[in-house]
Amino acid sequence: MMDSLIKSLHLDIETYSSTDLNKCGVYKYAESNDFEILLLSYAINNGKVEVVDLAQGEPLPGFLVDAIKSDDVIKYAYNSTFERVCLSRHLGIEKGKYLSPDSWRCTMTWSAYLGLAFSLKQVGEILRLDKQKLNEGKDLIKYFCVPCRPTSKNGYRTRNYYYHDKEKWELFKKYNIRDVETEMAIQERISKYPVPDFVWDEYHLSETINDRGVLVDETLVDNAIDFDEKTRDFNIKTLQNLTKLDNPNSVAQLKSWLFENDVEVETLGKKEVANLIGYADDKVVQQVLLLRQQVSKSSIKKYLAMKSARCSDGKVHGMFMFYGANRTGRFSSKIVQLQNLPQNHLKDLAEARALVRGGNLDAVEILYEDVPDTLSQLIRTAFIPSKGHKFIVSDFSAIEARVIAWYAGETWRLNAFKNGEDIYCASASQMFHVPVVKHGVNGELRPKGKIAELALGYGGSVGALKAMGAIEMGLKEDELKPLVESWRVANPNITKFWWDVDKAVIKAIENKTTVKFKNLEFAYLGGTLFITLPSGRRLAYSMPKVVDGQITYMGLSQAKKWERLESYGPKFVENIVQATARDLLVYAMKNLDLPIVMHIHDEVVIDAPLDLKVEDVSKKMSEVPSWANGLILNAEGYECSFYKKD
């Protein structure tokens, strides 16, 4: 078939690699020496699905190779990053380079855009397709796609080939074909509600950032892992000597030991152990708790993740999942989980980093009381710029507070941002009707303003304040409710905005109509509630209902189950604000047009040439898109020779 006649291509591949895909990510997975594509099923222009049995020596037809490489042929796949990266390796493209993402469309992203699930199986079930994903797939993948355990029964082989079970192999081919059929059926069902071209452009930008990757300091990572192992072994032995327990790392054993030493605890979580250390009278108990705190430090695992995922070019690739949060469309992180990196508070961060990099454990132990905590604070610094470059880190200041004030028209807040005021001081001043200056007059009220800002913007009350640590910071129980009331009285337009949104959502669902409110649009279309943002992007809530004033919709729960979820005005406002903040970040990323290697929450990290100025980046990032007229943005940045929080 001539390449010019091919307009679209639906693809699915089955692969083998001894590298653990879940642990290392697809970029490292496809670099493995034993990586290979076993099967490739495809459909041209929505036609019949064909399968190429590469494992048995069938070559990819030339027209198919040309179509895969062509930017004029649109390629569809479910989680298309996997197909694109694997095919890049199969087609012999130079390591560190990949097929351009510009002609690829991800049906998983499309499903997420419409508020559906992430897995092919789940989406097929939700849409009640005739051609569902075959349930046998999991066992077939385990048999053909990963190494097997050598046994006397299988002749001590470490891999199953097609000829070891031809019946299973034929079923595997049917499974591969069915995946394409299911993906095509999903696309046909959701085609009435296409993803806008500008969102596909954002997807391609995200894929380009994943392809670019970020360098990792291999020496620092290896030494940090080594230091942690040695420190952990020493701490476990010390705990054994102090407690006489066989396994002091066992929660049950340690709780029993603490009980015998007059300390009764329900849990040994991070927060609880920190509290216990503060009031433990017995010095031995205190030492045991301090050691427990150190050996349970899980953030060190991020070094192991970096080591596992580091590719031959020294970089970790593929850490960002586009539309990972499908209610807001925000990015999520995978592999190293950049969204929850430990903060760094060490004043001599560079010196501590140099000692670890130099392999000087003795010096680290002498200078820093808690080695695991020191290693934890150095995690960010393992990411480094390319040779002859520096990192420029720039992030939005109080982005969500600015966005909600803009939507609600909370004038005093907009003026505070316009005048460059500290929002926590301004909030406390508005709440308590006195001037508040950080480290100055009435400065003791600023923490109350801060916790109120962080906890109460989306309908939160006493419970939200407690969850944010109000009691731990010194507030009394009887101060919490008045604090909530003070914040709401000080922010009447935001409080009104919550319930105006609630009314708009209920009206749209109950009347199956479109409601325009401010610069938002709420529309019930085809069994889905769509909220159109000023950017033109839509948020989607599947199968919404209103029963006795309670709004529910179908979505993924925290446990990743597809079930009916409850919501209300303030929660929808939270989604709207966070989604808008996300749109502003993506606008800035496109506007900057610079080699971004990471983006975490409202921050971008640029692998910058040495002559690029921080001020120029922050100025560019602060530019407001035409759809956000009147919004006051501010970005601030800094430069560094390794990633850190300033």
Residue 358's pLDDT is what? 98
In angstroms, the CA 144 to CA 54 distance is 13
pLDDT of residue 1 exceeding 60, the answer is no
Q: Is residue 147 part of a domain?
A: yes
Residues 156 and 220 in one domain: no
Query: Could you give the number of structural domains in the chain?
Result: 3
Mean pLDDT score across all residues of the chain: 94
Residues 146 and 263 in one domain: no
Residues 258 and 351 in one domain: yes
Q: Is residue 566 part of a domain?
A: no
Residue 423's pLDDT is what? 92
Identify whether the C-beta of residue 193 lies closer than 8 Å to the C-beta of residue 111.
no
Question: What is the band of 320 on the pLDDT scale with cuts at 50, 70, 90?
Answer: very high
In angstroms, the CA 481 to CA 465 distance is 9
pLDDT of residue 535 exceeding 80, the answer is yes
User: Which of 181 and 275 is assigned the larger pLDDT?
Assistant: 181
Percent of the chain with pLDDT over 70: 99
Residues 185 and 67 in one domain: yes
Domain end: 440, 471, 490, which one?
A: 490
pLDDT of residue 394 exceeding 70, the answer is yes
Locate 381 and state its tokens: 């610094």
Q: pTM of the entire structure?
A: 0.94
In angstroms, the CA 21 to CA 36 distance is 13
Residues 322 and 435 in one domain: no
Identify whether the C-beta of residue 12 lies closer than 8 Å to the C-beta of residue 77.
yes
Nearest of 69, 537, 625, 586 to residue 322 by alpha carbon:
586
Q: Is residue 556 part of a domain?
A: no
DSSP 263-302: ---S---HHHHHHHHHH--SHHHHHHHHHHHHHT--TTHH
Tens digits of residue pLDDT in 227-264: 999 999 999 999 999 999 889 888 888 888 988 888 88
206-220 per-residue burial string, b: 16 or more CB within 10 A, e: under 16: bbebbbbbbbbbeeb
CA–centroid distance for 417 within its chain: 29
Residue 408, classified by CB atoms within 10 Å of its CB into exposed (0-12), middle (13-18) or buried (19+), is buried
Q: Is residue 398 part of a domain?
A: no
Residue 495's pLDDT is what? 97
Q: Is residue 469 part of a domain?
A: yes
Look up the domain containing 376 and give its range: 212-382
Where residue 41 sits, what CATH number does that domain have? 3.30.420.10
Residues 241 and 349 in one domain: yes
Domain end: 425, 457, 490, which one?
A: 490
Q: Is residue 561 part of a domain?
A: no
Percent of the chain with pLDDT over 90: 84
Q: Is residue 71 part of a domain?
A: yes
Question: What is the band of 625 on the pLDDT scale with cuts at 50, 70, 90?
Answer: very high
Question: What is the band of 3 on the pLDDT scale with cuts at 50, 70, 90?
Answer: low
In angstroms, the CA 409 to CA 626 distance is 18
Residue 284's pLDDT is what? 87
**Distance in Å from the first CA to the final CA of the chain:** 57
Handedness of CA 115, 118, 122, 128 (dihedral sign): positive
159-179 per-residue burial string, b: 16 or more CB within 10 A, e: under 16: ebebeeeeebbebbbebbbbb
In angstroms, the CA 151 to CA 133 distance is 31
Residue 2's pLDDT is what? 53
Tens digits of residue pLDDT in 562-577: 999 999 999 999 999 9
Interstrand relation of 383-384 and 514-517 (parallel, antiparallel or unpaired): unpaired
Tens digits of residue pLDDT in 140-154: 999 999 999 999 999
In angstroms, the CA 116 to CA 556 distance is 8
92-118 per-residue burial string, b: 16 or more CB within 10 A, e: under 16: eeeebebbbbebbbbbbbbbbbbbbbb
* Residue partners of 331: CB distance under 8 A and separation at least 6: 206, 320, 321, 322, 323, 324, 325, 582, 599
Domain end: 454, 471, 490, which one?
A: 490
Residues 189 and 221 in one domain: no
Identify whether the C-beta of residue 236 lies closer than 8 Å to the C-beta of residue 621.
no
pLDDT of residue 5 exceeding 60, the answer is yes
Tens digits of residue pLDDT in 446-474: 989 999 999 999 999 999 999 988 888 88
Tens digits of residue pLDDT in 292-310: 888 888 778 999 999 999 9
Residues 16 and 153 in one domain: yes
Tens digits of residue pLDDT in 58-93: 999 999 999 999 999 999 999 999 999 999 999 999
Tens digits of residue pLDDT in 404-436: 999 999 999 999 999 999 999 999 999 999 999
Residue 299's pLDDT is what? 77
Residues 428 and 325 in one domain: no
CA 61 to each of CA 3, 42, 138: distance values in angstroms, whole numbers, following the listed order: 11, 11, 28
* Residue partners of 366: CB distance under 8 A and separation at least 6: none
Identify whether the C-beta of residue 304 lies closer than 8 Å to the C-beta of residue 337.
no
Residues 374 and 263 in one domain: yes
Residue 222's pLDDT is what? 98
Residues 433 and 332 in one domain: no
Q: Is residue 608 part of a domain?
A: no
In angstroms, the CA 371 to CA 93 distance is 43
Residues 321 and 445 in one domain: no
